[in-house]
């Protein structure tokens, strides 16, 4: 679990024209390879500093067209960013998310 920068998420959401948390949740469904996306409740949790999963981090970042490190409360190390980027490019779906989550925990 990771805490995200809720203020950054809310700001980016508005800048991208997503006026509600529901709109961002809908956008995560569009970018998710399996189409399930992130529930509105998880968007609320992320914007209010509650811990969320690496999958939620990945989908919110993808929906906002930013790198995951840009919305993390604590910046990822450069190695964690590289692992996340390479795993996301090399694999799809949950495999990339699990690798990124382990990188965040270990580093």
Q: How many CB atoms lie within 10 A of CB 11?
A: 14
User: Are the C-beta atoms of residues 94 and 34 closer than 8 Å to each other?
Assistant: no
Give me the mean pLDDT over the 94-107 stretch. 58
How many angstroms separate the CA atoms of 96 and 46, rounded? 20
- Bridge partners of residue 3, in order along the sequence: 51
User: Two tokens at 106?
Assistant: 């270990």
pTM listed for this prediction: 0.69
How many angstroms separate the CA atoms of 67 and 85, rounded? 9
Q: What pLDDT does residue 91 have? A: 44
């Amino acid at each position: 679990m990771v805490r995200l920068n809720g203020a950054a998420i809310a700001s980016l959401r508005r800048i991208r024209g997503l006026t509600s948390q529901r709109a961002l949740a809908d956008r995560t469904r569009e970018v998710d390879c399996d189409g399930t996306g992130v529930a509105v409740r998880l968007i609320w949790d992320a914007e209010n500093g509650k811990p969320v999963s690496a999958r939620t981090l990945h989908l919110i970042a993808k929906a906002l067209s930013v790198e995951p490190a840009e919305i993390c409360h604590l910046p990822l190390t450069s190695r964690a960013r590289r692992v996340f980027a390479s795993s996301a490019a090399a694999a799809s779906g949950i495999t990339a998310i699990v690798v990124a989550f382990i990188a965040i925990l270990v580093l």
